[in-house]
Structure 1
Amino acid sequence: VVEQDFAVDGRCLRVADSLQALIGLGMAARDRTQARIIAVTGSVGKTGSKEALNFVLAAQALTSASKGSLNNHWGLPLSLARLPEQATFGIFEMGMNHGGEITPLSNMARPHVALITNVEAVHTAEFSSVEEIAQAKAEVFAGVEPVGMAVLNRDNDHYHRLADAARAAGIEQIIGFGMSEDADFRLVEESGDADGSSVTIDIAGNALSYRIGIAGHHWVMNSLGVLAAVAAAGGNVGEAARSLADLVAPQGRGRVHHLLLGGHPFTLIDESYNASPVSMNAAFEVLGQALTGVGGRRMAVLGEMRELGSDSATRHADLAGCIDRNDIDLVFTAGRDMAHLSEAIDPARRGAHEASPEDLLATVMAAIGPGDVVMVKGSLGSRTGVVVEGLLVATELPGEASPRVVNGH
């Protein structure tokens, strides 16, 4: 679909407005399908939850989901347009960085289930309060189909605000997940290690135990929301729980690589796709629990967190406390705001600071030793992915098995 002539292989349809044409295609695809539609939004964890939903439901029936982070006014209609008519499930991520963005997305997708992973102080540059962020996330309820359901984090400070908004939108069925005694999908027990977590949850008095193949408490919480959404969409919860054992983190969102540098093994944790104070702290917890080799260290390579507004410098510096609590050995930082963190951390933990990740790569490579675990994290715009790419290019794979894929990478 194009607005003007240009050289391209294949056929094109010329239209007056390509965005409106794309929206029309997406809505036509939505009108023709009988698929159960799940909308996923939240401050943190929405892409991972969407990918996990796609993974577990695709094992049960024909499932279509948004690719990567196609979650805005272009990506959502494109994803809808790709929805096969015969699909049983459709899973669509909805993102925003200011109010009013999600309402038209929800009205296009007309979901049967709306999952909000959480509401946190993310994208604060465009909002005056977290309450405003909650209001913007609640826009996902606008297009929910009659007799639709909301799936909400029962532990989140804004649960009641979101539940009230869901009811105001005509949604009567609300499923809560979390550690709260009032949660419908309630976490009973978890035991984590470097390769994932063993989890037991309670669903209406019935215990369900399963394994999730990605490390971190935040992924345990994601899994509760995923299973609750599976139930709301009419999927098989037991089968979905069993599938979680084979889940691997999406590229840039916690994917683990076992590599060799100069003949010596080290582990790379790729968290380079996105970053916020909440997700940074979760990543430090995972790194703090990671198993090193003999004499190995835990190292963090950090780029800036974006869209934090006027208190960005303070929120970068505040990460020092979590670094101390998780006993991260060396911290390398890049970017103007990350300089505040470099100054705030214990000098014994300070690796190096540079203006850009590109400038940091050689220093990081020189610092890596046998048995080290290196976690790379930053917002997409901070370009910490170049460090990951540089390490992957410069290293060998020690007979690594083909990774199980969740998002096509």
Structure 2
Amino acid sequence: MLQHTGGTLLQGDGQQRLNGVSTDSRQIQPGDMFVALQGDQFDGHAFVEAAAQQGAAIALVSAEFAQPLNVGGGAKWGDLTVIAVPNTLVALQQLARVQRQRFAGTVVGITGSNGKTTVKEMTASVLEQHYATFRSPGNLNNHIGLPLSWLRLPPEVEVCVCEMGMNHLGEIRDLCSIARPHIGLVTNVALAHVGYLGSLDEVQQAKGELIDALDSDGIAVVNIDDPRTRALGERAPGRVVTFGGSPEADVRGRVCADRGFDGLQCELDMDGATWPCHVALPGQHNLSNALAAAAVGVVLKVPAPKIVAGIQGYRGMYGRMAIRHLHNDMIMIDDSYNANPDSMRAALQFLQQVPDAGRRLAVLGDMRELGEAAPALHREVGALAWQCGVDELIVLGEFAAMFAEGAREAGMASAHIHAVASHQEAVTVVERLLGSRDVVLIKGSRGMTMERVVEGMLAMAEKA
């Protein structure tokens, strides 16, 4: 570690071994290494002592802060091994690069404006039917999360599936310099992070950094139904495999029956045959996610029955079109994890298609990182809520008035539009409005923490 990071051993055992790595002192397990990162609003060096008390074996600190930390102060640090490096983030990333260099298996990189976490999880579900597979945990997909993922890689793994996120140009390129993917999958290009990037063209350019990172032996997997991802495939240096509903796609599929909350009954065309497949996730957009996962399975020569088994076995994640049954036959659609205009459209269209619903309610929080287009895009989503049959619209955040204005202009009566000032007020309004057989959708950007509304709704249901 000293050799690869340019670090200096300030205290402790130079032969110390570590069990894991964390940047959060609250998650430290005995024998772990704590990496003291610094940001605009936090400084991990303030938590070195807490990490030591949690059982950390090693602390990786910035040389600039080593002296104020009173290294060598005896009882304060105990047996903690302390290593000082010029920059702790750079050191973390370098250690991940070393881990990647030692990995002899296959790396799958996944990015896209919508669905990348679902596709990552579904792809891993397919691949683990045939290979020892590791996927980046949760949404560890940025310049900190991806290195942490690599440092958690078990030794027996044959395929590593990495999610790659971004909100600026160059970020995916940097992530690829660590992960060095053999397969690059782009789900779609849409209006996410356009506030940082400036235009949809630049979003496409940023997502294309994954394709650009492939060499001539690499394989690009792209959504043929999305013109922008299809264009990215055309510039790939090696083989391209396409997925989608188009007859031209290498891996094709169609929805045979939409079973609402019970998912989709589909047919998948792959390996020269048609295979029936049940996608357990609600919403027709999840067919595209399933086809993306299937395409990676085809690339890695997973037998078709195992691909189908992997897709059928995937049951979704918290906050992503998760169906929660409440009291009095009421249902909550928890899509609280994140939002942009396209994912809002997909969620509202699913809400519209719910059969035998009483009334349809939507609790919508801001869509972040949309830049100058944000007011207009929030008005569009407000109008779409009315067009999709929403009976009661509850809106929260900086752009709540824009949601409301769009809904009113589309024809929704003001009495059915509720702008609230807090998550708890949203819960209170929903509790007052919700009746038997009603369905409520909860959705907003990550920064809106809409899961707090979900938690409040669940607490309400427990008391009923």
Q: What is the TM-score normalised by the length of structure 2?
A: 0.79
The alpha-carbon distance between structure 1 residues 215 and 349, as it changes in their structure 2 partners (threshold 3 A), is farther
The alpha-carbon distance between structure 1 residues 281 and 349, as it changes in their structure 2 partners (threshold 3 A), is farther
CA contact (8 A) 1:189 1:201 kept: no
Shift of 1:348: 6.7
Shift of 1:54: 2.1
Shift of 1:106: 0.8
The alpha-carbon distance between structure 1 residues 133 and 380, as it changes in their structure 2 partners (threshold 3 A), is same
2:339 aligned residue: 275
Residue deviations 1:151-170, cap 9 Å, x none? 00101121343023323xxx
Whole-angstrom CA distance in 1 between matches of 2:103 and 2:197: 36
Whole-angstrom CA distance in 2 between matches of 1:126 and 1:135: 13
The alpha-carbon distance between structure 1 residues 265 and 128, as it changes in their structure 2 partners (threshold 3 A), is same
1:144 maps to amino acid: L
Supply the RMSD in Å over aligned alpha carbons.
Answer: 2.0
Q: Does 1:104 align with 2:174?
A: yes
Whole-angstrom CA distance in 2 between matches of 1:365 and 1:292: 20
Query: Which runs of 5 or more structure 2 residues have no equivalent in the other structure?
Result: 1-33, 37-44, 60-82
Whole-angstrom CA distance in 2 between matches of 1:10 and 1:122: 38
Q: Does 1:380 align with 2:380?
A: no
| Range that drifts further, 281-290 or 28-37 | 28-37
Query: Which runs of 5 or more structure 1 residues have no equivalent in the other structure?
Result: 399-409
1:216 aligned residue: 283
1:288 aligned residue: 352
Residue deviations 1:56-100, cap 9 Å, x none? 323433221111211111111111111112102211000111101
2:13 aligned residue: none
Report the count of equivalent residues.
389
Q: Of the candidates 15, 26, 30, which is equivalent to residue 84 of structure 2?
A: 15
For residues 29-40 of structure 1, the aligned pairs below 5 Å read: 29-40=99-110
Structure 1 outlier segments of 4+, above 6 Å: none
| Identity level (%) | 34
Whole-angstrom CA distance in 2 between matches of 1:37 and 1:369: 48
Whole-angstrom CA distance in 2 between matches of 1:286 and 1:349: 24
Structure with the larger RCO, 1 or 2 (CA within 8 Å, 6+ apart)? 1
Whose Rg is larger? Answer: 2
Whole-angstrom CA distance in 1 between matches of 2:384 and 2:309: 33
Q: Of the candidates 325, 329, 336, which is equivalent to residue 391 of structure 2?
A: 329
Residue deviations 1:177-197, cap 9 Å, x none? 112222111224432121100
Residue deviations 1:305-356, cap 9 Å, x none? 0011112111011113432342122211111212212122211782411123
Shift of 1:105: 0.7
Q: Of the candidates 320, 323, 330, which is equivalent to residue 266 of structure 1?
A: 330
CA contact (8 A) 1:301 1:375 kept: yes
Whole-angstrom CA distance in 1 between matches of 2:116 and 2:35: 31
Question: Per the alignment, in what secondary structure is the counterpart of residue 199 of structure 1?
Answer: strand
For residues 7-406 of structure 1, the aligned pairs below 5 Å read: 7=50, 8=52, 9-13=55-59, 14-16=83-85, 17-144=87-214, 147-167=217-237, 172-194=238-260, 195-203=262-270, 205-260=272-327, 264-292=328-356, 296-345=358-407, 346-347=412-413, 350-396=416-462
Whole-angstrom CA distance in 1 between matches of 2:118 and 2:400: 25
Q: What is the TM-score normalised by the length of structure 1?
A: 0.90
The alpha-carbon distance between structure 1 residues 229 and 349, as it changes in their structure 2 partners (threshold 3 A), is farther
Whole-angstrom CA distance in 1 between matches of 2:230 and 2:336: 33
Whole-angstrom CA distance in 1 between matches of 2:325 and 2:204: 39
